[in-house]
Amino acid sequence: MSELTITKSELQEKDAIYNEVIPAGKGWMYDLKPGQIFRLVDLEGNQAVDTTFFSTEDPRDHYSATMTINSQHNIYLTTGTLLRAESGNPLLKITADTCGRHDTLGGACSPQSNTVRYAHEKIHMHACRDTFMYHMAQYKGNYNYSKRDLAPNINFFMNVPVTPEGDLDFADGISAPGRYVEMTAIVPATVLISNCPQLNNPCNAYNPTPVRVLVWNK
């Protein structure tokens, strides 16, 4: 594995304007204002936090893995990464990271991917796509989210190395309890999280765990 860059934050938990725990298997949707800083903490280590972003003002302009990867010429996300929308406009910038690397290729688990990756009887298991849909349906803002707004996502804390043959390897995690990633909103940005309920994948040691979300004003 290539060298990982660790960047700590100066922000103190006591100064946060928002501080909540998302239990394993649950989700979260939140509108960030420009300049607000958002931190995700992997409380017990090696949790996969499926996260996507939307321009709050025009949610059809959603997070794009392709634009994000192309513009930085790197498939892994860490400090300095600009999280870009489909239009190419940056939505947020990763400004601290004590894990060092995050995946944006693996996608979110769905009942369908569970049947392909694991076994047909897994179709009934709770998956990230269900959590995304649930929170989009509950959203109180100025837009009616629907299935067509489900787009590429980031798997924070998830280790998906690309092999020399170009395959994706869902590997054991590289995160640890208390590691975090922090990002600053550049424009009004809506965050949508599914704290992955997956029980079939070694990336979270087959054990989904809670994460903490914090928000600071600049």
- Torsion, Cα 143 146 152 155, to 10 degrees, reads 90
Binding mask 86-125 for Zn ion (x = CB under 5 A): -----------------------x----------------
Residue 116 tokens read as 């392909």
Q: Are 83 and 32 in contact (CB under 8 A)?
A: no
Using the rule CB under 5 A, is 192 a contact of Zn ion? Answer: no
Q: Quick one: which of 16, 49, 85, 128 contacts Zn ion (CB under 5 A)?
A: 128
Q: Quick one: which of 175, 198, 204, 209 contacts Zn ion (CB under 5 A)?
A: 198
Q: Hey, what amino acid is at 9? A: S
Element (H, E) at 117: helix 111-117
Using the rule CB under 5 A, is 150 a contact of Zn ion? Answer: no
Radius of gyration of the chain from its Cα atoms, rounded to whole angstroms: 16
- Smallest gap from Cβ 113 to Zn ion, in A, equals 9
128 vs 215, beta carbon nearer Zn ion: 128
Using the rule CB under 5 A, is 36 a contact of Zn ion? Answer: no
Positive or negative, the CA dihedral 129, 48, 89, 167 is negative
Q: Hey, what amino acid is at 126? A: H
Using the rule CB under 5 A, is 203 a contact of Zn ion? Answer: no
Query: What residue ranges bind Zn ion (CB under 5 A)?
Result: 109, 128, 196, 198
